[in-house]
Amino acid sequence: MLAISAFSLFGIATSSAKASNETSNSVTTQIVVAPGETLWTIAARVNPEIDPRAVIEDIKALNVIEGSQVYAGQVLLVP
């Protein structure tokens, strides 16, 4: 049982490292999507000096989002 837990933690750690590398080794933060927010408004808020389209792609990659929908209360990792 202990070996399975250790293996699971290793997998999570390597997945997190891979996700970080996909966003140019930047620091990530967790946010909670507010009612009415979209990926565009989130991208513009969290990184206003960068083109929102690039930030949206990073958010989608970090959170394994295929479409463009986010939901109020959803927890997202953002660059």
DSSP H helices, 1-79, are 2-22, 39-46, 52-63
CA 48 to chain centre: 17
Q: Could you tell me the residue ranges of all domains in the chain? A: 2-78
- State pTM to two decimals: 0.66
Question: What pLDDT was estimated at residue 25?
Answer: 60
Residue 58, pLDDT above cutoff 90: yes
Kindly report the CA angle at 28 between 25 and 32, in degrees rounded to 5? 160
Task: Categorize the per-residue pLDDT at 28 as very low, low, confident or very high, splitting at 50, 70 and 90.
Answer: very high
SS3 51: coil
Question: What pLDDT was estimated at residue 24?
Answer: 54
